[in-house]
Structure 1
Amino acid sequence: MKRLGKLEERLHIERLRLHRVIDNTGWGTGMRRVKTSPSFHKENELMRKIEILKDRIRKLDAND
């Protein structure tokens, strides 16, 4: 349970970071750069880890 809380907190922090990066992207960025959006890899990885952990908890609860 402690690990789940930490992962959810890290996901929240990563989402805040992504919003900050997106908000700081200027209007003309698309004209100057090929890649204009931030990477969502870290957020996706955290969501995957949270789902795996929740599945494990559900299985443990089902066995009890």
Structure 2
Amino acid sequence: MDLGDRIAYDLDVGASKTSPFARPELGPWLRKPSEFTALVCWRFDRAIRSMADMRDLAA
């Protein structure tokens, strides 16, 4: 199985300065949640850094 199209690499994006929805690779996925069943993060603190981001992600 090729996972290349199922992985978001936003390595040069600061999580504390950029909303998860505004990130180049992760953002498009988060705007279409019906297209996947799970979101797995290597480290959760890389996905969100603020309660506002957590609120938006939960919504």
TM-score range normalised by the length of the shorter chain: under 0.3
Larger helix fraction of residues = 1
Bigger Rg, which one: 1
Which of 1 and 2 has higher RCO (CA within 8 Å, sep 6+)?
A: 1
